[in-house]
Amino acid sequence: MQIYEHTDLAELDFQSTRKYRVEDRYEPHVYIIKEADTERLYIGSRTAQFCRLDDIGHRYFTSSAIIKDEWQQDLNRFTPICIIPCISNHDAMALEIDLIISHNAVESDQYINLGHPRVGFCSSGKQFTEDHKAKLSTALKNAHFYMSDADKAEWRSRLSVSAKLKFLSQHERDKVRDGIHRYHQHINYDFSSQSTRIKHLHRTGHYKQAYQKISDANKGQPKPEGFGDKVRQARLGMKFSDDWRKNISQSRKGKATGDRNAMANEANRNKVSASKIGRKRVYLANGKFLYVRAEDLYKYYRHTNGKYYEYEE
């Protein structure tokens, strides 16, 4: 039987003291088990006091709360396929880390490992039982009771503003919340009806490119049947408060006047003039009019006065 010994343990810096193997009394080892139904594997190590190679599946059912409960209820659920004896507890823990990293056990769907403190954790796609969720919730709620003052201070410094509120007095909470509210009012005042994404685009100045992309994507896309009627019904009878009308009035004041008026620019006036060359004014039944190209005038009636009408004058 070959006993595993790690060549370099200095870089791992274990907090526990190194304890060497004693035959039939203390036998640290690494094990790999396989789930019978899915054939997924689990990599773990056994370094507890008085541990032996034949503990797995009899006295010891892994340190995983999920596997432990399922294996104890059904002894045929998992089967040990590999047991590697190690010369010490540190060698067993080092080998476990090497195997988890080399096989990408935390991320791979072929392994049940959810994570390792020195490797990382991944719960994506994993299924948790209700008992396991309850145990996690209880452990997280009571975690701060077992932390030192230094650890608590470091933990609080990493919390978000909303999470830090629980450690403040009611007066301090109100001051922080009021400041956050005023900040969001300041940065969002002009885009209250827009989505968070559009607000961000406005603040960063990329809204023109975003609007152009949205416009290009929507061009040529027909509206669903009944879309216009639904919009009309939704806005039918809508009333605006005096404050709303006052705010709209204030926001429009000074716009489209003086230099802000598009027609104050001679180049814009020339563009409008050029767009109407060759077009004729057609009067509609509702008293309004529109400009129509010469090739489309055959659709309308021409009066003896030379004007065009939508209806027969």
pLDDT higher than threshold 50 for residue 214 = yes
- Cα separation of 297 and 275, whole Å? 16
Least confident window among 31-40, 162-171, 223-232, 257-266: 162-171
Question: Do residues 130 and 49 make contact, with C-beta atoms less than 8 angstroms apart?
Answer: no
- Cα separation of 74 and 81, whole Å? 17
Encode pLDDT of 147-164 as tens digits.
677 777 776 666 655 555
Domain with CATH 3.40.1440.10 in the chain: 10-121
Encode pLDDT of 246-304 as tens digits.
888 888 887 777 777 888 888 888 988 888 888 888 888 888 888 888 888 888 888 88
Question: What DSSP letter does each residue of 216-261 carry, written as one string?
Answer: HHHTT-PPPTTHHHHHHHHHTT----HHHHHHHHHHHTTTTSGGGS
Least confident window among 66-80, 193-207, 259-273: 193-207
Domain 10-121: homologous superfamily in CATH: GIY-YIG endonuclease (3.40.1440.10)
